[in-house]
């Protein structure tokens, strides 16, 4: 929900941000429009599967154009250090998503949580401790309290 | 009286030990989540949905759990507002204006007590309103055909942007983006795959829950990373909340006015609790005039917005349950839960599953008492949670989201999708494009298209069926009125900023 009550601190004219976003959305709308032509209209259906997305992509394209022409306000974008931190966080989470099944829940989560806690600004020692606690707590919650099987370590079945 | 009989039946459902337990758990978790700075009801409920699925709860139980979390968050939001001057969520914003000054003066306990009572009355009024007005709305809506429903969806989208006060262009962009994302998947009418690019994971469309958790919880963490150092906070002595409960008596007229205003704001589609608390505060300030010392720790400045936001939270359930149109971000998520359980809210829900609707109403009444009991004596305990370091809280939120979403389908694809939506949510928030209309588009798009196409089938392709009935014309007129009201509102906000 956009917030009418925030102070203006941290807001900047969104000339660059809004125009890039507008351009991307415009492309999206045009691609959606173009792809919808491949959709066969159903038998005896006055309105086929393609019409509705076309009805949406038209106003989306018009509004995106308007955004390019009349950019509004943006929140201040973060500096490079923060962007790197955010990218690393996403990298950890993405790798975790791919590795949780092959490696098993416990080792994959332990590594992921410790790295995450580090990225959120804690020193190594609290990271290791809280990482261990959080991993075990999650394992206990899902495996025992909720009865949801989580992936086991390969070769270990219990 | 029918309503009383239904309500009695509802209490029988809500008082079942399991449901009662869920209400208490939900209220506690909700208060905790709401108290944490940055995490509001939207995040709280979004985070709880995968968990409630994993509990294997039947729909009534899951709904009771989640609305308890919802009400709990609305209560909890005031704690960090008063103690830390950081609103836990948007509706709690107005509470900081007088709550934090009170806390600085050593009257934090009093502020917490007053706000607990105000929240209780506000939520109570809204629940009463829900029981009285939702059935009336249902009786009206039962006559709706597909064309009228289509108009109703247009109304929902037309109002969300205007009344939230952001940029109108951006709100509508968000809504259309959501609608476009919602059209991904196999077309329900013709069976043709649409925008799936051969990925079978997309055949069912984008999973609401995966998208919601990404848009809210993951993007919240990315935002949080921008400011991990945090600011040093003065330690405040809170004192007992009990004197506040007594002082609340003096604020009774304020609480009554705030509850009424908040309730009306909540029922309007798209307005939500933020508008409820804002209107309650500003109107109270105007009502009391120069007698008050608003902004310097006037107890009425705490009572009015808290009554307002809790009343709005309950009021927003009315259009969600009776029409299937959510009045706020959080009710949109509750709607997502219902839809993913194959329950379509709307007039038929009241006819076909009265025990669910009335059980929910009764659970809200019970939850409200539970929250009052929890919040007056235990408030210092909840305030302690605020001292947990962010480096622990945020990874915990991410991990709960991750494991919760993963265990829905054991699918890594869902996790990547969630991360994608996290990045999208982050970018949207930076661009000041509201995320709630995206969610609404994603959620309501399917039903909107279905009703449009059914109407067109009935009329054999004549578009004017969409505006051929009095009801649908009335709805369109109402939509236009609300857009105009929204423009006036944002104009007023701008005036307030300049002054």
Q: What SS3 state is found at A76?
A: coil
pLDDT higher than threshold 90 for residue B494: no
pLDDT band at A2 (very low <50, low <70, confident <90, very high): very low
- Which 53-72 residues of chain A touch chain B by CB within 8 A? 53, 56-57, 59-60, 63-64, 66-67, 70, 72
A3 touches chain B (CB under 8 A): yes
B433 touches chain A (CB under 8 A): yes
The residue-averaged pLDDT of B345-373 equals: 85
Cβ contacts of B302 within 8 Å, gap of 6 or more: B78, B82, B95, B98, B99, B102, B111, B114, B115, B118
Q: Specify the pLDDT at position A49.
A: 81
d(C-alpha B155, C-alpha B485), whole Å: 13
* Helix segments in chain A, DSSP class H: 15-35, 51-69, 80-103, 105-119, 124-139
Helix or strand holding residue B440 (H, E) = helix B436-458
Average pLDDT over residues A101-116: 92
The verdict on a CB contact (< 8 Å) between A120 and B395 is: yes
Whether A52 sits inside 8 A of B183 (CB atoms) is: yes
Determine the average pLDDT of the residues in A70-87. Answer: 90
- Please report which confidence band the pLDDT of residue B236 belongs to, taking 50, 70 and 90 as the band edges: low
Lowest mean pLDDT among A40-49, B208-217, B279-288, B328-337: A40-49
B290 pLDDT tier (thresholds 50, 70, 90): low
In chain B, residues with a C-beta closer than 8 Å to the C-beta of A42 are 187, 189-190, 192
Q: Assess B226–A contact: CB distance below 8 Å, yes or no.
A: yes
- CA gap B257, B21 in Å, rounded: 33
CA distance B482 to B499: 25
Question: Is A35 buried (19+), middle (13-18) or exposed (0-12) by CB count in 10 A?
Answer: middle
Chain B contact for A5 (CB, 8 A cutoff): yes
| Residues within 8 A of A (CB atoms), B 117-146 only | none
Residue among B122, B21, B158, B13 nearest B478 (CA): B158
pLDDT at B201: 84
Asked if A1 lies within 8 A of B164 by C-beta distance, the reply is: yes
With contacts defined as CB-CB under 8 Å, which chain B residues touch A31? none
Q: Residue B268: which residues within 8 A CB-CB, separation 6 or more?
A: B159, B163, B275, B327, B482
CA-to-CA separations, B272 to A80, B47, B297, B308, in angstroms, rounded: 36, 20, 26, 10
The pLDDT > 90 percentage for chain B reads 11
Please indicate whether, in this complex, the C-beta atoms of B412 and A97 are within 8 angstroms of each other: yes
**Which residues of chain A does B166 touch, with a Cβ-Cβ cutoff of 8 Å?**
2-4
B231 pLDDT higher than 60: no
Contact A106/B at CB under 8 A: no
By C-alpha distance, the chain B residue nearest A10 is B430
Q: Which residues of B touch A11 (CB under 8 A)?
A: 432
Question: Residue A58 above 90 pLDDT?
Answer: yes
DSSP state at residue A149: P
Sort residue A30 into left (φ over 0), alpha (ψ -120 to 50) or beta.
Answer: alpha
Residue B1 pLDDT > 70, yes or no?
no
Is there a contact between A146 and B391 if contact means CB atoms under 8 Å apart? no
Which residues lie below 8 Å from residue B400, measured CB to CB, with a gap of 6+? A138, B47, B51
| Cβ atoms of B248 and B425 closer than 8 Å | no
Angle between helices B329-340 and B436-458 (to 10 degrees): 60
**In this structure, what DSSP letter does residue B200 have?**
G
**Binning pLDDT at 50, 70 and 90, where does residue B208 land?**
confident
Rounded to a whole number of angstroms, the distance from the CA of A78 to the nearest CA of chain B is: 7
Q: From chain A, pick out residues whose CB is under 8 angstroms from the CB of B402.
A: 93, 96-97
pLDDT, residue B13, reads: 84
- pLDDT at residue number B323: 84
B402 touches chain A (CB under 8 A): yes
Q: Which whole number is the average pLDDT over B342-348?
A: 81
* Nearest residue in B to A98, CA atom: B412
Pick the residue with more confidence: A148 or B173? B173
Tell me the per-residue pLDDT of B423-449, one tens digit each, with 9 for 90 and over: 999 999 899 898 878 888 888 888 888
Q: Do B398 and A116 touch (CB under 8 A)?
A: yes
Chain B contact for A32, CB < 8 A?
yes
Residue B210 — very low, low, confident or very high, per pLDDT cuts 50/70/90?
A: confident
Mean of all residue pLDDT scores within chain B: 82
Residues in B closer than 8 angstroms to A35, CB to CB, are: 195
Say which residues have a Cβ less than 8 Å from residue B334's Cβ, sequence separation at least 6.
Answer: B45, B63, B66, B67, B70, B317, B320, B326
B window 148-167, beta carbon within 8 A of A: 164-167
User: In the predicted model, is pLDDT for residue A119 greater than 80?
Assistant: yes
- The confidence band for A98, taking pLDDT boundaries of 50, 70 and 90, is very high
Contact at 8 Å (CB) between A139 and A109? yes
CB contact under 8 A, B173 and A60: yes
Quote the pLDDT of residue A1. 35
The interface predicted TM-score (ipTM) is 0.91
Q: Do A5 and B90 touch (CB under 8 A)?
A: yes
Residues of B in contact with A85 (CB under 8 A): 225, 228
Q: Tell me the average pLDDT across B471-493.
A: 80
Of B122 and B13, the one with more pLDDT = B122
What element of type H or E holds A13? strand A11-13
Does residue B167 have a pLDDT over 50?
A: yes
Compare CB distances from A77 to B177, B274, B430 and report the shortest one's residue. B430
Per-residue pLDDT tens digits for B47-59: 788 877 777 788 8
State whether B399 and A45 contact (CB < 8 Å).
no
Mean pLDDT check: name the lowest of B402-406, B451-455, B484-488.
B484-488
Q: CB contact, 8 Å: A101 with chain B?
A: yes
A156 touches chain B (CB under 8 A): no
> Helix, strand or coil for residue B185?
strand
> How many Å lie between the alpha carbon of A149 and the closest alpha carbon of chain B?
8
3 state DSSP class of A73: strand
Q: Give the Cα separation of B97 and B118 in Å (integer).
A: 16
Residue predicted with more confidence, B273 or B335: B335
- Residue B14, pLDDT > 90, answer no
How many angstroms separate the CA atoms of B74 and B89, rounded?
9
The pLDDT of residue B465 is 85
CA distance B246 to chain A (A): 31
Residue B247: is its pLDDT beyond 70?
yes
Find the mean pLDDT for residues A33-55: 78
Q: How far is A146 from chain B (nearest CA, A)?
A: 6
**Banded model confidence at residue A96, pLDDT cuts 50, 70, 90:** very high
| CA-closest candidate to residue A67, choices B181, B270, B178, B167 | B167
Residue B480 CA from chain centroid, whole number = 24
């Amino acid at each position: 929900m956009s917030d009418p009550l925030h102070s203006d601190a941290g807001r900047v004219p969104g000339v660059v941000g809004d125009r890039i976003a507008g351009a991307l959305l415009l492309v999206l709308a045009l691609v959606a429009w173009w792809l919808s032509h491949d959709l066969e209209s159903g038998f005896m259906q006055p309105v086929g599967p393609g019409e509705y997305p076309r009805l949406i992509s038209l106003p989306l394209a018009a509004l995106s154009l308007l955004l390019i022409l009349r950019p509004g306000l943006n929140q201040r974008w973060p500096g490079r250090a923060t962007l790197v931190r955010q990218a690393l966080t996403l990298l950890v989470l993405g790798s975790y998503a791919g590795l949780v099944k092959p490696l098993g829940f416990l080792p994959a989560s332990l590594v992921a949580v410790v790295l995450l806690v580090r990225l959120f600004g804690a020193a190594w020692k609290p990271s290791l401790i809280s990482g261990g606690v959080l991993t075990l707590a999650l394992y206990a919650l899902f495996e025992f309290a909720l009865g949801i099987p989580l992936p086991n370590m390969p070769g270990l079945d219990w | 009286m029918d309503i009383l009989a239904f309500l009695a039946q509802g209490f029988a459902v809500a008082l079942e030990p399991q449901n009662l337990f869920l209400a208490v758990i939900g209220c506690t978790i909700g208060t905790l989540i709401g108290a944490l700075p940055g995490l509001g009801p939207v995040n709280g409920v979004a985070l709880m949905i995968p968990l409630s699925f994993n509990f294997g709860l039947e729909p009534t139980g899951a709904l009771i759990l989640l609305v308890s979390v919802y009400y709990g968050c609305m209560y909890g939001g005031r704690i960090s507002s008063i103690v830390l001057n950081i609103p836990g969520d948007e509706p709690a914003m107005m509470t900081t204006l007088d709550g934090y000054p009170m806390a600085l003066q050593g009257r934090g306990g009093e502020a917490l007590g007053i706000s607990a009572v105000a929240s209780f009355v506000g939520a109570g009024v809204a629940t009463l309103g829900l029981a009285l007005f939702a059935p009336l709305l249902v009786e009206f809506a039962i006559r709706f055909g597909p064309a009228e429903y289509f108009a109703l969806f247009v109304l929902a989208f037309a109002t969300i942007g205007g009344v939230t006060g952001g940029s109108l262009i951006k709100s509508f962009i968000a809504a259309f983006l959501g609608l476009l994302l919602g059209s991904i998947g196999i077309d329900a009418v013709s069976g043709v795959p649409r925008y799936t690019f051969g990925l079978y994971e997309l055949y069912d469309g984008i999973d609401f829950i995966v998208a919601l958790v990404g848009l809210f919880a993951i993007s919240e963490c990315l935002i949080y990373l921008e400011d991990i150092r945090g600011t040093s906070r003065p330690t405040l002595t809170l004192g007992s909340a009990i004197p506040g409960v007594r002082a609340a008596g003096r604020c009774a007229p304020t609480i009554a006015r705030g509850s009424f205003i908040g309730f009306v704001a909540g029922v309007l589609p798209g307005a939500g609790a933020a508008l409820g608390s804002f209107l309650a505060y500003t109107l109270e300030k105007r009502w009391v005039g120069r007698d008050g010392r608003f902004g310097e720790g006037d107890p009425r400045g705490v009572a009015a917005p808290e009554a307002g936001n809790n009343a709005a939270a309950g009021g927003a359930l009315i259009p969600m349950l009776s029409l299937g149109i959510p009045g706020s971000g959080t009710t949109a998520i509750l709607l997502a839960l219902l839809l993913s359980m194959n329950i379509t809210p709307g007039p038929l829900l009241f006819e076909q599953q009265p025990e669910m609707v009335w059980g929910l109403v009764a659970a809200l009444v019970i939850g409200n008492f539970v929250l009052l009991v929890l919040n007056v004596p235990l408030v210092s305990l909840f305030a302690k949670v605020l001292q947990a370091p962010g480096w622990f809280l945020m990874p915990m939120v991410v991990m709960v989201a991750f494991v919760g979403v993963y265990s829905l389908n054991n699918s890594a694809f869902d996790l990547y999708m969630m991360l994608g939506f996290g990045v999208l949510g982050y970018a949207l928030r930076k661009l000041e494009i509201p995320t709630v209309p995206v969610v609404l588009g994603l959620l309501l798009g399917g039903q909107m298209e279905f009703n449009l196409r059914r109407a067109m089938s009935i009329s054999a392709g004549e578009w004017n069926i969409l505006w051929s009935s009095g009801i649908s014309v009335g709805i369109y007129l109402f939509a236009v009125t609300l857009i105009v009201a929204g423009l006036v509102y944002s104009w007023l906000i701008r005036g307030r900023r300049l002054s």
